[in-house]
């Protein structure tokens, strides 16, 4: 049996080769080609995205290792026990092997328990809600657009925007302005998720997380955006005829830009509880989110 010293020397080249290969990988490759990671590295999209990508990548590594071992054993058995020249009839029938039976039962059980444990641990963190967030927002899904309310200390400080479903040209390119959720960078955010009609699902793609929205049951999502930029969002639950048009954008900006944006909503008179202002006619294409026909539509 080789000594521990010899074993360490034998593993050293493998470790160096692995480190060299990983050093040449881009952040996108290191994170399993998931969205939300930029080639230049830097900050992650939120404080939770690295946790999600680590669970994803490590799960694939374990599964790939199991796959390689399984494929290797299958190939070895196919070669070692192949029919030789001159052999006829059925091969010798053997009884079951109890140690192998136990092995093939215990190993999958350990894998399942391990996947469950790591998933439950990360999910517990992801589902922990901020008790006193810097920003509190209500996101409301409706057929087929989004409304956003930015809660203030009182009703006068609360502002909102209402969205209209995306419109496309004959080639399928979105040509209308999408509802936009604005968030301040490096500030704790807690979003209350509600639905006006059917089940929707709030999904900011690069944030690597989504949550369902129900009638009569509020859901919550807490996180901290950590990189400024524009991110795409959509409904991830089939919710009717124009589900594919239920799109929105997320703008992560500086705190000063965020406060300036809220001030523009106050100046526009979009203050108070959004539900007091809601009218389902505001969902219709050709309106500007206030129930009135847009200038472009009015010209026609």
Tens digits of residue pLDDT in 25-72: 676 677 666 777 776 666 788 999 989 988 988 998 999 999 999 999
Is the model's pLDDT at 297 over the cut of 60?
Answer: no
Query: What CATH code would you report for 135-286?
Result: 2.60.40.420
Structure tokens at 100: 């192998």
* Torsional sign, CA 158, 166, 177, 250: positive
Whole-angstrom distance, CA of residue 84 vs CA of residue 87? 6
Cα 60 from chain centre:
17
> Which pTM value belongs to this model?
0.77
Average pLDDT, whole number, for the chain? 84
pLDDT per residue over 216-243, tens digit each? 889 999 999 999 999 999 999 999 999 9
Whole-angstrom distance, CA of residue 145 vs CA of residue 282? 10
């Amino acid at each position: 049996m080789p000594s521990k010293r010899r074993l360490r020397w034998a593993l050293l080249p493998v470790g160096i080769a692995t480190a060299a290969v990983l050093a040449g990988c881009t952040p996108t490759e290191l994170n399993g080609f998931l969205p939300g990671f930029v080639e230049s590295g830097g900050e992650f999209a939120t404080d939770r995205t690295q946790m999600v990508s680590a669970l994803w990548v490590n799960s694939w590594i374990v599964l790939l290792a199991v796959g390689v071992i399984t494929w290797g054993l299958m190939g070895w058995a196919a070669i070692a026990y192949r029919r030789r020249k001159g052999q006829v009839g059925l091969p010798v029938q053997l009884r079951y092997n109890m140690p192998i039976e136990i092995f093939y039962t215990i190993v999958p059980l350990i894998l399942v328990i391990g996947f469950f444990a790591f998933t439950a641990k990360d999910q517990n963190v992801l589902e922990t809600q901020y008790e006193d967030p810097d920003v509190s927002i209500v996101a409301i899904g409706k057929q087929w657009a989004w409304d956003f309310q930015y809660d203030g200390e009182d009703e006068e400080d609360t502002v909102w925007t209402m969205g209209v479903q995306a419109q496309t040209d004959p080639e399928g390119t979105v040509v209308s302005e999408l509802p936009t959720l604005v968030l301040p960078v490096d500030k704790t955010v807690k979003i209350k998720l509600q639905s006006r009609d059917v089940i929707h699902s709030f999904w900011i793609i690069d944030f690597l997380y989504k949550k369902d929205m129900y009638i009569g049951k509020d859901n919550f999502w807490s996180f901290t955006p950590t990189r400024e930029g524009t991110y795409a969002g959509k409904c991830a639950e089939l919710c009717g005829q124009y589900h594919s048009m239920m799109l929105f954008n997320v703008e992560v900006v500086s705190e000063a830009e965020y406060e300036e944006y809220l001030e523009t909503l106050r100046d526009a008179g979009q203050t108070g509880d959004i539900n007091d202002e809601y009218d389902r006619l505001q969902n219709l294409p050709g309106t500007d989110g206030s129930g009135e026909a847009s200038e472009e539509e009015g010209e026609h």
